[in-house]
Amino acid sequence: MPRLPTDRLRRLELGRAWRSAGAVPDTVPPLVLFEREGNADRVAALCETASAAGLRPGLGLAEARARFPGFDFRPREREAEARLLGAVADWCDRYTPLVAVDAPFGLLLDISGCAHLFGGEKALVDDLLTRLFALGLAAEAVVASHPGAALALVGHVASGPLAPGEEAEAVRPLPVEALRLDPELAAKLRRLGLKRVGQLLDLPRESLAKRFGEALTERLAEASGRRRRPISPRRIVPSLIAERRFAEPIALLEDVERVILFLAARLERDLERRGEGGRRFELSLFRLDGHVEHVGVGAAAPVREAERIARLFRERLAGAAERPDAGFGYDLIRLGVPLAEAMPDRQVELDRSEALGEEDLVALLDRLSARLGEASVTATLLAGSHWPERAERRQTAGAALGARDKSAAPHREAPPETDRPTRLLDRPEPVEITQLLPEGPPLHFRWRRALHVVKSFEGPERIAAEWWRDAAAPARDYYRIEDERGRRYWLFRQTAARDAARPDWFMHGLFA
């Protein structure tokens, strides 16, 4: 999308369909974007009209304004351009889940195994370019069996598919800039008379690498098909996908929920054949205007029943804040399984009713997580530490169920409930000692400006930090203390050194 920076602004000011609507009104001046390079502002992007007038990127802003006083000069906004490119990448998920960003203006789509769904590679490309044009974006595309060849050819040849094995011949007439080299290296090659890719392919690779570096030979190998350039999708690729396209867009939430149930039933069959259940599901709603919304839900345990999957999404979509905006309607809805786990068959009763038990808890946790959000439904697990601040960790309920049988400290038992306070303070709070027993707890202490008289105590219980994590941390002597009103506290003292004259006392917890 070579005009992405200016197309973005035209879409905002003239509407998404500004390209399909015809020519830009005469009252709208040609658009030129500039940005800071070194100590000077230079032209960075321009519309077709400005380009046809002879303006080129890299020209100083002052000179450009002097030569073309009637043009509209504006600062470039790279962050906004990146957001638009990401939105277009999401939209391209309708063709394949393997979409990678080739910044600043391009996308890489791996359409292996997908083209036949659109009538072939050429039909897919034609549909892609037509839809982008209708959304106000000028685009060029090339289909090749190697990503490196496609990146080199795009913008230089027509969009027709390139047969496997034709990459080397196809890239020979291209300028060396098509290899996307460093500008200084490309200029150096031109000064030496090496202006075409074919000239570089005719030279020994060893001498090229020695003279110009490995980057040049790597780009040559990728463009000619001798080496495959990896594609890193920007989103997690689901292990299973079910989708439905609509000739007429749908907008009602009830219709969307029926489609979710239909797609979940298809996934249920696929998951059952694989002996798996989904732990996470993602719903992708493709709007007619190009906007894509993603709604995800998680399950506390593997699930594949269509009704349960649909119910999770009903709970998530029930709240007004989570309800997606259908706009002019959805023309494609997709349901994917980003995370799946093995799911053994379940034993049922003779009357075919499932035995009640843990599955009811899992179903409840799933519904609560879908309605309230996964971060709102948590569980506390033991961690591999005696240090009170690190003795437990909070996880989402689903993660806690999956981790409880492989705890970080499987051989450590929790201390008796009576030994630990029901409320642990987020941070130990200093306590002022007014009277102290020798080698024992205080007789009186002041905490939060209130004076407490000690009636009885238990302890001390010494707790030290793990030597491999914090060897310098002083040990703590904990006491369970009851005051004259029957209130119980968990205090500790710590001494930085054995010969410290006065230990530090802290309040760390409260008993019920």
pLDDT in tens, the chain (512 residues): 999 999 999 999 998 888 887 777 878 899 999 999 989 999 999 999 999 999 999 999 999 999 999 999 999 999 999 999 999 999 999 999 999 999 889 999 999 888 888 999 999 999 999 999 999 999 999 999 899 999 999 988 765 677 788 888 999 999 999 998 898 999 999 999 999 999 999 999 898 999 998 989 999 999 998 888 888 898 888 999 999 999 999 999 999 999 999 999 999 999 999 999 999 999 999 999 899 999 999 888 899 999 999 999 998 887 656 678 888 999 999 999 999 999 877 665 555 555 555 667 777 877 787 777 777 788 877 777 778 887 877 788 767 666 654 444 444 555 555 588 989 898 899 998 877 777 778 889 999 989 999 999 998 888 887 777 776 778 889 999 999 999 999 999 886 644 455 568 999 999 97
CATH number at residue 180: 1.10.150.20
CA–CA distance, 227 with 326 (Å, rounded to integer): 44
CB burial readout 225-247, b (16+ within 10 A) else e:
beeebeeebebeebebbbbbeee
Kindly report the CATH number assigned to the domain that includes residue 4.
Answer: 3.40.1170.60
Query: Does one domain contain both 405 and 272?
Result: no
Whether residues 249 and 291 fall in one domain = yes
Instruction: Give how many domains the chain has, as a whole number.
Output: 5
Provide the phi-psi class of 329: left if phi over 0, else alpha when psi is between -120 and 50, else beta.
left
Whether residues 273 and 175 share a domain: the answer is: no
**For residue 149, which of 186, 194, 187, 180 has the smallest C-alpha distance?**
180
**One domain, residues 195 and 88:** no
Contact 68, 59 (CB under 8 A): no
| Strand locations in 255-361 (E) | 276-287, 292-303, 330-342
Task: Show the DSSP H helices in 346-498 as ranges.
Answer: 358-372, 397-403, 467-470
How far apart are alpha carbons 377 and 373 in whole angstroms? 7
Per the rule left: phi > 0, alpha: psi between -120 and 50, beta: everything else, 180 is left
- Indicate whether 338 and 282 sit together in one domain: yes
Owning domain of residue 59: 1-141
Cα distance between residue 457 and residue 479, in whole Å: 7
Dihedral sign computed on CA atoms, order 28, 32, 36, 38: negative
Token look-up 């029930």 returns: 318
Q: Where is the domain boundary, 124, 141, 158?
A: 141
Q: Are residues 349 and 462 in the same domain?
A: no
Provide φ and ψ at 180, rounded to 5°.
60, 50
CA distance 86 to 78: 12
260 and 245 fall within a common domain: yes
CB burial of 29-50 (b: ≥16 within 10 Å; e: otherwise) equals ebbbbbeeeeeebbbbbbbebb
Residues 216 and 322 in one domain: no
> How far is Cα 92 from Cα 135, in angstroms, rounded to an integer?
13
Is the peptide bond prior to 104 cis by the omega test (within 30 degrees of 0)?
A: yes
Spacing of C-alpha 18 from chain mean position? 31
Domain boundary among 353, 372, 391: 372
Report CA 67 to chain centroid distance, whole Å.
45
Please indicate, yes or no, whether residues 268 and 351 belong to a single structural domain of this protein: yes
**25 and 116: one domain?**
yes
How many residues in total does the chain contain?
Answer: 512
Same domain, 253 and 126: no
Tell me, yes or no, whether 10 and 137 share the same domain. Answer: yes
Cβ-based neighbours of 317, under 8 Å, separated by 6 or more: 253, 256, 257, 295, 323, 324
